[in-house]
A and B are shown apart, each in its own frame.
Chain A
């Protein structure tokens, strides 16, 4: 319903030429916006040793446990400053794997001496010590639906199913032919888990099968398996090994669904990340696979569309990744002891809101004073009122904000426009104004009319920018014209001579560069021709 009066003509401010946009739409899609909203305020870099394992507690407040060297540090990730709240250091060797129990009260940790310890998270005292592996243990996991058992695997190629209370091995599963490096328990079934090994094979075990050496299903990843996880549905498994992450359908008999190969080096760790959990409830949750590799990249893979939706680079090889169950914290551990813990801002707002609700009783709403005609604000009342749905809006015509040079161009004061834009330090705008002046057939007249100071300004600009490839087609020609037109004035002034010397120097340099480039072209073009002939 807004009728704008038709204008006879519009005002077109001079615009610099557009720059080509990067092909990858970085930071543009809502997806990448979401993933880059995990802000790493300061990376934690005092760990000094590599971080091979990270674990988030499944129960709030979702403590983060990080293993580094022979220590496990516990973090409360929602604090503003990130520093270990507690450390557990009752290990004799390097800690290799961590796992919280489903209620978050116990933490299992394995180390390279072959020992598995179960700690109480509150008191951090070792409650049980499980020793049976003869070689370093590489992974330990609590089942999702079971609080009594543990799964572990190690360099002795054995997978063990423990009864934690009795510190005893319930079943020992032999089947892998190389180091067992990883494993995960099914979120759907308490008795099933998968393990991955350096023999390229991922096996699905069921503890109810008495024959302890035969796996229920097995798939071949094709390279040493570094990490394996169940996807939340329980029917799909993602495996990481070599440069690829593969998704397998276990119910469909171990069929490979997709192979994501966008890492350049070995993928070391994968986990499931969620998107949009808070905003739109359960239906809006979108699941992604987050993978990190030795190439320093974290990739976000949307396995419903089979597409990498975001990619992020870190300055070190990455070893482990964790994503908090409330999808507010993402932690990445590197090989040089830096822990990147990214937190989302939204969480703090939500917390603030919660605090507000809690503190409602104490905080009094400021009493609004009744406006009287004697107040100054009385006359401004209602001016900031927002229009409601059905209101008829009378729009004020938008005022076009014009830069100084645009105003001058509108008044046909071409020389002043050129001087005004030369005074600023945006070469793109200067070139745009010059192009507009060319279109008005006024540039050379402007150059003729410039006085000595402004001519110096123009020569300085030409010296700085005439060899920039984006502008050179216009500016080199202009520089020549300027010298031709104002030869007498330049001869008369020493300052202007200085500018000309500078200009000459930059042109000489440019000529040298061009010669060098031509030499290279001469070398490359025969090669290209030979390559093209094949």
Chain B
């Protein structure tokens, strides 16, 4: 069983101390990526639920940069300590509460007190109180608690704050302060200098009128910046002077000084002043101070990284990232940083210039197309031989993602447009089809009209010469079915032929012309071969049989069978209640499965030899796939709403099921219940991931791939009962690390090491010259010392020297 397709942007990533690796929370694991190549190097596996925090233990000295230890916290209620160079689990702390966020202040401030090893390491965690009653409307489920990592126990009774839901904890880079956001309030605690379980932490609150989204601490000064939902950035200077200094045991005479002038500061908040910057049109998602404290990086939904100079408020931009920004993470290497985008991509930036060096892209997340075309959009498409899934991306493209290797292969830009997050979507790629050998792709894009003018449907054919899925455009067909929308595109398995069916009541078959040039076949382009229609009814689905001899087109509720070469109607079968959405032939066998949706959904199996229905179910079907055995198939069905509500607890949030059927029996052979089945896809992959992994005795007959509505996927063998987990095979292997210079050495090169020993030996070699006075007077006369001084030296040199050997 292979799982993959996890989100890379569920929580902020972390750089290793040498900035050569990036630790990314990917579902239940933490993946380690190389920053020089952007490829995955390994993963930390052990958590059983979503990993929410990863903290790399900072190196106390430059020599310790190679230390690779990190703490991770997860929703499974454990905190784990890893050596991520070897991937090895070193310690587990079980707190039994789902952890949403964790900070460890002592890691950041431990440099000066490295001698005091005895002190315990404390972490502050944001947990969900699962004991609080769900039904209670005002239950405070989020808690900020303290945890003793050395003793592996929750600090008893210390609950710093209770909030409605668990909040993300932010810590200052010196480890002095940490805080959380709670709606319009900002709670900041000062970490006590001497940590113990029972010490009382001081807290200040800062208020605002809008809901906060993110905040950050200045690395050296007492400045805190916070972003809100309207896109404003508030900066408080000198926060907590009153409260926190009191605890330090200093004079507190000024503490009750209310009439002090505090511009911009609300009420009785403990800060000197507060200023506001406003550039972002939407909410601010990430806000980070640069390591020297001179700049603030901020980003939001509009996909622009803004760099503010703190003193002047001047701005610099990195525009057109193309997706909402979620996190910005600085690395120990000053020339490297990373931004995480909502489209599941992490970009590595070369810092002062803000150039994108590399992108680590995960599987594209689903997006919701506009209402008008959402019924036209097809889901993801599989290349069953290569184990590749093709997904629609929000920026009008197609992503090819290898299911076996769990990494993106390539992206094809279907429409030549830039996507601006937040804008209304007016161009949508609705349909997508891949030929069986994967060398041809067909896409349909729809440009939505503006008040009924300027709409356009466009069919494109693409070709790729190699297996790397770099498609180039071959043919563009504007308005293939006049102005009516296309309901399905399918390729013929045996020949270069494709079919498009439209709601305008006809279908067209397309053929690709070939020309032999310089000994190799050149495709000249796709042209229409034939047009067919049945009683002017809207055509809702189309597919070819596996041997290519029959073309089945669904004309709303009936299935019409055609001879694709001669374009003759052969037979008509079926009568569904609602328009058929999906048609699929079962391998080489003479059966066809149809699925219709709507008010009376139906799954039917038809026999082509008898031209009659074998059996049918009333089920909402999301996807149909034929299994390796020609007479079996699997469907992804949505469970009826009623059933899920009544048995909600029993199913554990599962809303769909994969059912495997044999054609001859209406009883399912096997059932797997799944989560987030809506918008999911199902395919039977014929290839096997890697030879090495599957040499354990049995020959693999292929794997069933299920991609759920969040584009997370699982591959499993439908014929075996055991659910053995195979790690994702990283065929690329471990990426060899390049030693890269940074800091001083990147500018001036390595410092030469001074070899003292050699200098000493050199001294010994020098032998006294025969005539020491000969050099005494060399040089120009004005540089010579006065004669009176030279005289003694001269006379001395004339004297015979006693060698040291005699002594």
Contact = CB atoms under 8 A, between A and B. Distances in A.
Contact of B450 (A11, A18, A444, A473): A444
B453 interface: yes
A439 B427 contact: yes
A435 interface: yes
Contacts of B418: 9-12
Contact of A438 (B320, B355, B416, B450): B450
B324 interface: no
Contacts of B318: 8
Contacts of A438: 426, 447, 449-450, 453-454
Contacts of B525: 21
Interface in A401-426: none
Given A17-B478, A18-B476, A7 B454 contact: no
B424 A477 contact: no
Interface stretch (B219-227, B356-364, B758-766): B356-364
A434 B454 contact: yes
A435 B322 contact: no
Nearest to B515: A25
Most buried by B among A5, A9, A25, A481: A9
B450 A441 contact: yes
A478 B476 contact: no
B722 interface: no
B674 interface: no
A6 B454 contact: no
Contacts of A285: none
Contacts of B319: 8
Interface in B200-229: none
A443 B454 contact: yes
A5 B347 CA distance: 12
Contacts of A481: 451, 453
Given A15-B416, A477-B454, A6 B447 contact: no
A8 B320 contact: yes
A21 B525 CA distance: 10
A474 B453 contact: yes
Interface in B51-73: none
A443 B451 CA distance: 10
B377 to A, nearest CB: 18
B158 interface: no
Contacts of B351: none
Interface of A is mostly: loop
Interface string B416-453: 11100001101100000000000000000001011111
Given A8-B321, A434-B454, A441 B356 contact: no
A444 B451 contact: yes
A440 interface: yes
B565 interface: no
A8 B356 contact: yes
Interface string B339-372: 0000000010000000111110000000000000
A365 to B, nearest CB: 41
A17 B476 CA distance: 9
B88 interface: no
B447 A439 contact: yes
B483 interface: yes
Interface string A12-28: 10010110010001000
B454 A435 contact: yes
B456 interface: yes
Interface string A444-474: 1000000000000000000000000000011
Contact of B426 (A21, A434, A439): A439
A18 B456 CA distance: 14
Contacts of A478: 453-454
A412 to B, nearest CB: 10
Contacts of B358: 6
Nearest to B449: A438
B450 A8 contact: no
A441 B426 contact: yes
Interface in B532-574: none
B317 to A, nearest CB: 11
A12 B450 CA distance: 21
A477 B318 CA distance: 39
Report the 3 A-B pairs with minimum CB-CB distance, sorted nearest first. Answer: A438-B454, A477-B453, A9-B320
Given A21-B525, A435-B456, A477-B454, 14 more contacts: A6-B356, A6-B359, A7-B356, A8-B321, A8-B322, A9-B321, A12-B417, A17-B478, A29-B517, A443-B450, A443-B453, A444-B451, A474-B454, A477-B452
10 contacts: A5-B357, A6-B355, A6-B358, A7-B356, A9-B320, A9-B321, A11-B418, A15-B416, A440-B423, A481-B453
